[in-house]
Structure 1
Amino acid sequence: MNEHFSVAEPQGSAAGPRELCIEFSASGSEYFRIWIVNLLLIIVTLGLYLPFAKARRLSYFYSNTLVDGQALAFHGNPWKMFRGFVLLAVLMLAYGVSGQISPTAGVAAFLILAAVWPALWRAGLQFRLANTSWRGLRFAFTGDLRQAYLAMLPAYLPAAVIVVVSLLNSEALESKSFTPAQGLIGAATLLIMLLTPWTLSLSKRYQQSHYALAGQHSRFGVGTGAFYLLMLKFVLFLIGYALLAGAVLAGVYFLLQSPLLMAPLALLAYLGLFALVGPFFTVALQNMVWRGTSSAGLRFDSQLRLRAFAWLSLKNWLLTALTLGLYRPFAVVHANRMRLEAVSLRVNGDVDAWVARKSAEHQDASGDAAGDFFGIDMGF
């Protein structure tokens, strides 16, 4: 769960800069009761309760996220979220079924889905921010539709090649000998890998540069090169972990000559992948993104520590596995607490003097209406 803030610097205030801390007061036992009821209702309703479960979860998490001692609030209408859920479900079902009917139908469905997806992404951002408040002030998302499409464009082109070639050349792809279709998919896959940091940069810039509150807009100061450097560090970290884990497993097998011991060791190495490699990327991305987010009167900082988050992730994975998933709500609460409380805000001016801007008069009414009507919340 990401929280987004952008504040207005009061005019004529002589108040000096001060830090606003974020606290997360949720407890695992409280969330477990919400989680287990949500899970049972989702099962009983064959998934139809999902948007209502999400609304309950967000309301609980937001009400326990305190910024400078004041809690956030989520105002999303679950029935509107249900309409958005149905819309997304219909789109995904149509795409899945059309591919089984004919390759041409599958390509057409993909093109329709690709054409509307950036608009749905933007509507989701608008819905979440418009239904989030702090101290009675509603947030807003001001990104326009053109920027949403541009942010997804680098990933769209090679992905389109993969989907279209796969649907139209299924027999050629199953051939044991090399075919042009296989070559195209391989080249497009490589291109996606090379463009992933750029795509991530564009998406984060689109999100972090368009949060607003009380007439103040956020800005994002991290360049594309930083995302490529982050991805390079992540790949090197992944390779280093794989080499180290492989060397340890090979050494243990060579010294003990015990095949039975290899299975639990391999499982530990697999868990270590989630406990170290995943947290490395999470920590580095969170710190980089929030340190690069600011507004005229506010600057974020994030001091999430890899060692602490890695140990927490390992504990969460182990206890979730040992309890057959029942520890999951406790793990979510602990991870959210560590991530949220690692973020702080430094503000210039008097917070009490902030005034909510009249957002309805200054936003793109059509886009806001779409997000509010359908209740689209894509979980950013």
Structure 2
Amino acid sequence: MENSVNHEAAAQPAARTSKVAFGGKAGEFFGIWIVNLLLSIVTLGIYSAWAKVRTNQYFYGHTRVDNQPFRYLATPIQILKGRIIAVIIFALFFVLSSLSPMLTLVLALAFLFVSPWLIVQSLKFNLRMTSYRNVRFAFHGEYKGAFKYFVLLPVLSIFTLYLAMPWALKKMDQYLCSNISFGGKKLHVSTDTSTYYIAALVAMAAIFGLMMVFGILTAVVAVIAAFSGEAAESAEGRGIFALLLSGGVFVVYFVGFALSGAVYQSMIRNHLFERTELPGIAKFKSEMKVMPYMWLILSNLLAIILTLGLAYPWTKIRKAAYMASVTTVAVYPQIDSLVDQAQNDSNAFGEEAAGLFDVDVSLA
């Protein structure tokens, strides 16, 4: 029996394992970004369809796995047509909702039922427009599943005082990943609910810990100020203390937001990649660390604020480079024999409507 197992292991083709490589440069993308921005303003937003395609083509083309780049295949006209229809619907939604509060409630309820369709259409279009080794990705999810996982479960979790939300988030991720295919081969996902609860608890503990430390420091400063004499009792002294307190609250808010997000996203992404594979084609690994990712979030945000948005291209390139550096893919030789599969036609309306109505689903 042992010899048989060893023989099967030896017969299995060896995987080519490598880090995901991202070769984008901040200077290059800044040129693309500033031209996109200026032309979009001059054309009253019409050029934004071309801007989106140029941006996606740049990031996809500079992302490589096994020394092979990704490709973004959508055309600006596809994006523009979908965007025009989405804008018209949004305008109608805005006009009708302004007529009466009751109509606003009806439209909000209608949007609740439409949003799963928008999510599905957005994913189908985006993945169909993504290719690797001339083989396209595909999304096979349907409205029923999207409604269940993105509407029904989150609403029901409210009645559990959000205690069921980590489980609902796990079901969302599983629905998304298990319906993605590459060359006709579907991803296999086997995530644990316990990991989602642990990640949520650790993220909450990080916030509460930070708040406690800030509260203790504030109390210490207040006590020192109380014993510092007349200066602390003056209006100027109280004003300085109030200013420092406000600044401290502001800093704690952003650091807490970054810390909790880094904790949760790192734990979940690492777990999701470890438990997701394309059987016989590829396996994935993520090694995100909390502190480096938190610093990335905070420093990117600070750079954008201090430069009035001009550092946005640099932050986008920086984040893409970091995400690539912590991601490893093991590719098996069978990937070389995959061929593109015929897919149902779709259009960009779902994607653009989803973006316009702020329905966004991101894949790690």
| Same structural fold, with TM-score higher than 0.5 when normalized by the shorter chain | yes
1:86 to partner: Cα distance? 3.1
The CA distance in 2 between the partners of 1:138 and 1:306, in whole Å, is 33
Residue 374 of structure 1 aligns with an amino acid whose one-letter code is F
Matched ranges for 1:26-175 at <5 A: 26-155=24-153, 157=155
Paired residues of 1:95 and 1:113 also in contact (CA < 8 A) = no
The CA distance in 2 between the partners of 1:192 and 1:85, in whole Å, is 38
Between the two proteins, the alignment pairs up a number of residues equal to 331
Percent of matched pairs sharing the same residue: 27
1:277 aligns with 2:266: no
SS of residue in 1 equivalent to 2:131: strand
Q: What does residue 329 of structure 2 align with? A: 345
Kindly tell me: are residues 26 and 149 of structure 1, through their superposed partners in 2, closer, same or farther at Cα, counting changes over 3 Å?
A: same
Kindly tell me: are residues 249 and 43 of structure 1, through their superposed partners in 2, closer, same or farther at Cα, counting changes over 3 Å?
A: farther
The CA distance in 2 between the partners of 1:84 and 1:155, in whole Å, is 29
Once the two structures are superposed, what CA deviation does each residue of 1:250-303 show, in whole Å capped at 9, x if it has no partner? 334443665154454444333423442322222223212222211212221100
Kindly tell me: are residues 90 and 223 of structure 1, through their superposed partners in 2, closer, same or farther at Cα, counting changes over 3 Å?
A: farther
Residue 209 of structure 1 aligns with an amino acid whose one-letter code is S
1:48 to partner: Cα distance? 4.1
1:237 to partner: Cα distance? 1.7
1:148 to partner: Cα distance? 1.9
The CA distance in 2 between the partners of 1:318 and 1:100, in whole Å, is 37
Gaps of at least 5 residues in structure 2 are: 1-10, 226-231, 233-239, 355-359
Match of 2:218 among 224, 249, 268: 249
SS of residue in 2 equivalent to 1:199: helix
The CA distance in 2 between the partners of 1:373 and 1:200, in whole Å, is 26
Kindly tell me: are residues 194 and 54 of structure 1, through their superposed partners in 2, closer, same or farther at Cα, counting changes over 3 Å?
A: farther
SS of residue in 2 equivalent to 1:42: helix
The CA distance in 2 between the partners of 1:373 and 1:308, in whole Å, is 36
Paired residues of 1:125 and 1:141 also in contact (CA < 8 A) = yes
1:197 aligns with 2:180: no
The CA distance in 2 between the partners of 1:373 and 1:329, in whole Å, is 25
1:288 aligns with 2:271: yes
The CA distance in 2 between the partners of 1:59 and 1:287, in whole Å, is 27
Paired residues of 1:82 and 1:375 also in contact (CA < 8 A) = no
Residue 294 of structure 1 aligns with an amino acid whose one-letter code is E
1:192 to partner: Cα distance? 7.2
Residue 272 of structure 1 aligns with an amino acid whose one-letter code is V
**What TM-score comes out, normalization by structure 2 length?**
0.81
1:375 to partner: Cα distance? 6.3
Residue 376 of structure 1 aligns with an amino acid whose one-letter code is E
Kindly tell me: are residues 189 and 203 of structure 1, through their superposed partners in 2, closer, same or farther at Cα, counting changes over 3 Å?
A: closer
Stretch of structure 1 that moved more, 205-214 or 80-89: 80-89
Gaps of at least 5 residues in structure 1 are: 1-12, 159-187
SS of residue in 2 equivalent to 1:372: coil
Match of 2:186 among 217, 231, 235: 217
RMSD of Structure 2 on Structure 1 (CA): 2.7
1:195 to partner: Cα distance? 4.3
The CA distance in 2 between the partners of 1:322 and 1:305, in whole Å, is 26
**What TM-score comes out, normalization by structure 1 length?**
0.78
